[in-house]
Chains A and B, each alone.
Chain A
Amino acid sequence: MSAAHDLVVVGAGPAGAAAALAAADAGLDVLVVDEQRAAGGQILRTTPPEFGGRRKLPTGYPWAGELLDRARSHPGIAWRHGATVFGILPVTADASSAGGADASAGPGSADGADASAGPASAGFDVLTSDPADPAGSGRVRARRVLIASGAYDMPVAIPGWTLPGVMMAGAVQGFLKSQRLRVADRVVLAGSHPLLLIVADQLLAAGARIEEVAIARGIPSPVELLRALPAVPGHVRLLGELAGCVLRLLRAGVRISTGTVPTEVLGDGRVQGVRLARADRGWRQTGPARTVEADALVLGYGFHPSTELARQLGCALDWDSAQGGWIVRHDAQLETTVPGVHVAGEPSGVAGAEQSRAEGELAGLTIAAALGRPVPERALAGARRRIRSASRFSGVVQRMFAPRREALLELATPATEICRCETVTRSTIDGFLDENPFAGTADAVKLACRSGMGPCQGRYCESAVAGLVAKARGTGVGEAGRFAAHIPVKPVPLQAYVALADDPAEVP
């Protein structure tokens, strides 16, 4: 194993890239691990070099090109692309010597209880999959880690949502950005997040026919718009982009329905139609549903932060629905409750690329300062100012587009699969809650019903399971709790564990 890096950054999106750059500028030795082939994350994703042509970045983020170019060419930053961080282990003084702990926990001894002190002092072992060898794995030592792992599309379980052709807005955009791939010819989009309009516009430009865009909420009231005004300065470009999308969609004759929710996906083996219905201000269905023929349904109700590494490390999280659900608790320095573990970007609350980049910058600077590098107060103040400015905008977006989770949950009928990995239906979970009045947490349901135990590790069903527990017990989702996360946070073959040995000779 190579010598320890000062900082390992998980994720090369705006937060991770900005953090790496700020930390490396301040003199740290930084490694960035990212699942993609190139830096930029989901938001700044581009086609691979094999496609040729000039790099095309979204126009709303004028800083993006320079950030990526400077980070990529910085001598203080090493990159490991195409690799997944599948776990992070705190290193304690004893475990860092002589190839790990004594494996022979004998009877009567207290080997299970380790005499070492708190976890932070000796750093972390970051466990990565090996892009070149599916059976391999890697282990890098870090003095500090930054989790900048972004967010994923908020799943919404409706009847028929497991049919091929039902996709999430972020994923559809990913195909367009990375491979110029149009996922279907005739598309219905349903959701509430502004990204939905952007994706509809991009699909239209790619030659798809947009059958309808169904927005759950109504048209913003004048009061809401007035409240939103203070957030606008500095973000005119982004708002202009969104207005342009709507104009182009309307000009193409696309039907944009407000106060509308999808109630069912129709089809035999693939999507053939979508049932849409009117909904009230609380997003509850009010009228009968009508059928719109289509071969894809794109859902876009928002994003959940990727918090699995923070959970696996034992960081505290808090429930905040508008910010994306479970978010990682952190201080003003963006350090989590586990010393030495920091967050930036969406895991600290889903707030978009602008705020992610500013948080990354602050995290990079404060980590450098904590490791004894000189960091000018001016730089810290600048980063804090940019976070404040970005958060005025993101706060308004969060308030205006907050998902009505209780109403979305009611789109699932008893036969709807809540957990698609383990094929657990809503009626199974509701039935368990009925028969087991002593069970009151999402984890208790997971253990009993297997919902959340499959390869997606609960990313798809956690919020629905917790919502069902909260509903059955008359509590909040926060009290129903969340699933625990374990190594590996994404599946790896058993062989990859053996490859974590320092030295093949160490393998018993």
Chain B
Amino acid sequence: MSERYDSIVVGGGLLGAALAWMLAREGARVALLERDQLNQHASGQNAGSLHFQLEYRMVEHGWESARTAAEAMPLHLEAAREWAALGDELGESLGVAQQGGFMLAETAEQVEVLRRKTALEQEWGLDVRLLDGDEARRLAPYLSDSVLAAAFCPLEGKADTRIAGPALARGALRLGAEVRTRTEVVDLVPAGSGWAVHAVERSEAGERRLRLEADTVMLAAGVWTTRLGQLLDVSLPTIPLALMMSVSAPTAPFVPHLVQHAGTKLSLKQTGNGTVLIGGGWPARLPLAADGTPDLDSRPTLLQSSLVGNAAAAIGVVPRTASLPIVRSWVGTTTVTPDQLPLVGQVPGRPGVFVATGGSAFTLGPSFARSLIALADGRPPGIDLHPYDPARFERLSHARR
């Protein structure tokens, strides 16, 4: 005997919760399955930047890779619109504040990067403008004199990673969706015109096996996507990136913007609680399992070099951070793909199964969700998803065989 749904969402991060809520809003019978608690991994552990400018990691490796990364701009523009409206649609705050974001330059070379980057982004339709150091400091008096120029994008800002995912899940619950935590998917097999999802529910009392059926299955599992792909015998390659973030004790508001850097890994913002969040992509060490693949179930460890580097980058452009008491530095594991573009679309050869992950999946989560639901309904997704088609890796892996 199995339970029957219109759609099953696998993964209880921001994307999974957004999918469950949007599906339930359309009247679908939805179950969301999460192997741990909701919002415990990348969605709850990232710094909540709503960044739409190209990031440092996209511009540090030359112009060709920046041009490729810019191809994801339509998704970013769509995401900026989504986030602005999402809280009102849901009827609950997601801690969204879009008060603008800077990308800073401290050397002549970085100024040149900003100049070219801004021009490229403007071609793609992003509202971004280049300011000199004094103009930037007029908008942001907390910036140090070492800042020579800044690209300012008024759409940028932040969302509260602590509350956004659970708020969307509560929205889904209110609309009749089921949310099951401590429930891990262990197999995905075709059943009739849809899919049977086999799962194991864990509790103090032991394990219980479940079989659920649905017309569509949405994979929103971040770094666990590749594993789910294996259950379907499809290559969905992802690379886990363990990244460090730090947070200070609350202090009086002084940074209303998102702050990033064109020459080093830095993101800095102040939350609604007054805490200052500092990150930007400094690596941590992800332990390896016996077979040499990243062990996603073990806790990553911080690197001394990252503690030093991230702190120096923050203090360099926002000197007041030097004396802020740091309460926690932690590691979140984000997901990228081998070609840096997200995976969004139908799982190749598995009609009814859809996937989204890879690269800025917090910022882009609501857009990913909207696009997948449109695809599943057979509607045009609003943006051209071809560059993100998951089949591109499947073709590669077949070519190798």
**B38, A108: Cβ atoms closer than 8 Å:** no
B51-77 interface bits toward A, Cβ cutoff 8 Å, 1 = contact, 0 = none: 000000110110001000000000000
Please report which residues of chain B, range 233-278, place their CB below 8 angstroms from some CB of chain A when the two chains form the complex: 239-243, 246, 248-249, 264-265, 273, 278
**A444, B333: Cβ atoms closer than 8 Å:** no
Of the residues A95, A99, A105, A488, contact of B241 by C-beta under 8 Å: A105
Of the residues A87, A438, A508, contact of B38 by C-beta under 8 Å: A438
Q: Which residues of B lie under 8 Å from residue A374 when comparing CB positions?
A: none
**A498, B312: Cβ atoms closer than 8 Å:** yes
**What distance in Å separates the Cβ of B141 from its nearest Cβ neighbour in chain A?**
19
**A112, B304: Cβ atoms closer than 8 Å:** no
Q: Which residues of A lie under 8 Å from residue B39 when comparing CB positions?
A: 444, 447-448
Given contacts A454-B327, A492-B326, contact A441 B338 (CB under 8 A): no
**What distance in Å separates the Cβ of B23 from its nearest Cβ neighbour in chain A?**
16
Q: Which residues of A lie under 8 Å from residue B248 when comparing CB positions?
A: 494
Please report which residues of chain B, range 149-197, place their CB below 8 angstroms from some CB of chain A when the two chains form the complex: 162-163, 166, 169-170, 173, 179-182
**What distance in Å separates the Cβ of B336 from its nearest Cβ neighbour in chain A?**
7
Of the residues B58, B273, B287, B327, contact of A491 by C-beta under 8 Å: B327
Given contacts A105-B281, A447-B162, A498-B308, contact A491 B322 (CB under 8 A): no
Q: Which residues of B lie under 8 Å from residue A453 when comparing CB positions?
A: 327-328
B294 adjacent to chain A (CB < 8 Å): yes
A475 to B330, CA, bound (A): 28
**What distance in Å separates the Cβ of A401 from its nearest Cβ neighbour in chain B?**
27
**A100, B38: Cβ atoms closer than 8 Å:** no
| Shortest Cβ distance from A110 into B: residue | B239
**A112, B240: Cβ atoms closer than 8 Å:** yes
Given contacts A110-B239, A111-B283, contact A508 B315 (CB under 8 A): no
| Shortest Cβ distance from B300 into A: residue | A112
Q: Which residues of B lie under 8 Å from residue A450 when comparing CB positions?
A: 162, 273
A501 to B314, CA, bound (A): 15
**A497, B162: Cβ atoms closer than 8 Å:** no
| Shortest Cβ distance from B178 into A: residue | A438
**What distance in Å separates the Cβ of B288 from its nearest Cβ neighbour in chain A?**
6
**B286, A448: Cβ atoms closer than 8 Å:** no
Q: Which residues of A lie under 8 Å from residue B65 when comparing CB positions?
A: 107
Given contacts A506-B308, A508-B309, contact A455 B162 (CB under 8 A): no
**A492, B325: Cβ atoms closer than 8 Å:** yes
A114 to B293, CA, bound (A): 10
B2 adjacent to chain A (CB < 8 Å): no
A204 to B12, CA, bound (A): 57
**A494, B314: Cβ atoms closer than 8 Å:** yes
A500 adjacent to chain B (CB < 8 Å): yes
Q: Which residues of A lie under 8 Å from residue B330 when comparing CB positions?
A: 484, 486
Given contacts A435-B170, A440-B181, A448-B166, contact A491 B314 (CB under 8 A): no
Q: Which residues of A lie under 8 Å from residue B204 when comparing CB positions?
A: 475-476, 479
**A112, B333: Cβ atoms closer than 8 Å:** yes
**A440, B278: Cβ atoms closer than 8 Å:** no
A448 to B43, CA, bound (A): 12
Of the residues A119, A444, A494, contact of B37 by C-beta under 8 Å: A444
**What distance in Å separates the Cβ of B285 from its nearest Cβ neighbour in chain A?**
4
A34 adjacent to chain B (CB < 8 Å): no
**B286, A114: Cβ atoms closer than 8 Å:** yes
Q: Which residues of A lie under 8 Å from residue B170 when comparing CB positions?
A: 435-436
| Shortest Cβ distance from A106 into B: residue | B61
A443 adjacent to chain B (CB < 8 Å): yes
Q: Which residues of A lie under 8 Å from residue B324 when comparing CB positions?
A: 493-494
A314, A437, A448 pick with most chain B CB within 10 angstroms = A448
| Shortest Cβ distance from B69 into A: residue | A107
A475 to B12, CA, bound (A): 22
Given contacts A115-B288, A486-B330, contact A105 B303 (CB under 8 A): no
A4 adjacent to chain B (CB < 8 Å): no
A487 adjacent to chain B (CB < 8 Å): yes
A221 adjacent to chain B (CB < 8 Å): no
A310 to B40, CA, bound (A): 21
Given contacts A107-B58, A475-B204, contact A113 B304 (CB under 8 A): no
A476 to B308, CA, bound (A): 41
**B302, A487: Cβ atoms closer than 8 Å:** yes
B311-351 interface bits toward A, Cβ cutoff 8 Å, 1 = contact, 0 = none: 11111000001111111111001001011100000000000
A132 adjacent to chain B (CB < 8 Å): no
Of the residues A113, A438, A508, contact of B242 by C-beta under 8 Å: A113
B306 adjacent to chain A (CB < 8 Å): yes
How many residues of B are counted as interface, with CB atoms below 8 angstroms from the partner's CB atoms?
A: 79
Q: Which residues of A lie under 8 Å from residue B282 when comparing CB positions?
A: 103, 105
A446-488 interface bits toward B, Cβ cutoff 8 Å, 1 = contact, 0 = none: 0110100111010000000000000000011001000010111
A495 adjacent to chain B (CB < 8 Å): yes
Of the residues A113, A115, A493, contact of B326 by C-beta under 8 Å: A493
Q: Which residues of A lie under 8 Å from residue B338 when comparing CB positions?
A: 108
**A455, B327: Cβ atoms closer than 8 Å:** yes
A101 adjacent to chain B (CB < 8 Å): yes
B392 adjacent to chain A (CB < 8 Å): no
B363 adjacent to chain A (CB < 8 Å): no
**B249, A494: Cβ atoms closer than 8 Å:** no
A225 to B146, CA, bound (A): 73
Given contacts A106-B61, A476-B204, contact A125 B304 (CB under 8 A): yes
A116 adjacent to chain B (CB < 8 Å): yes
Q: Which residues of B lie under 8 Å from residue A125 when comparing CB positions?
A: 304
Q: Which residues of B lie under 8 Å from residue A101 when comparing CB positions?
A: 283, 285, 303, 305-306
**What distance in Å separates the Cβ of B119 from its nearest Cβ neighbour in chain A?**
21
**A491, B326: Cβ atoms closer than 8 Å:** yes
**B336, A457: Cβ atoms closer than 8 Å:** no
Q: Which residues of A lie under 8 Å from residue B203 when comparing CB positions?
A: 475, 479
Q: Which residues of B lie under 8 Å from residue A454 when comparing CB positions?
A: 249, 327
A458 to B269, CA, bound (A): 24
**What distance in Å separates the Cβ of A458 from its nearest Cβ neighbour in chain B?**
10
**B166, A103: Cβ atoms closer than 8 Å:** no
Q: Which residues of B lie under 8 Å from residue A440 when comparing CB positions?
A: 37, 181-182
**A507, B312: Cβ atoms closer than 8 Å:** yes
Question: Other than the known A448-B163, A495-B323, what 20 A-B pairs have Cβ atoms closer than 8 Å?
Answer: A95-B303, A95-B304, A101-B306, A103-B283, A105-B57, A105-B283, A108-B339, A108-B340, A112-B240, A114-B288, A438-B38, A439-B166, A441-B37, A447-B40, A486-B328, A491-B325, A497-B307, A501-B308, A508-B309, A508-B313
- List 30 A–B pairs whose Cβ atoms lie within 8 Å, in order of A's numbering: A89-B301, A95-B305, A101-B285, A107-B58, A112-B240, A113-B240, A113-B242, A113-B288, A113-B294, A114-B286, A114-B287, A139-B304, A314-B298, A436-B38, A438-B34, A444-B37, A444-B40, A447-B162, A450-B162, A475-B204, A487-B328, A488-B328, A491-B249, A492-B325, A494-B321, A494-B324, A497-B326, A497-B329, A498-B308, A507-B309
Q: Which residues of A contact B (CB under 8 A)?
A: 87, 89-90, 92, 95, 99-101, 103-108, 110-117, 119, 125, 135, 139, 314, 435-441, 443-444, 447-448, 450, 453-455, 457, 475-476, 479, 484, 486-488, 491-498, 500-501, 506-508
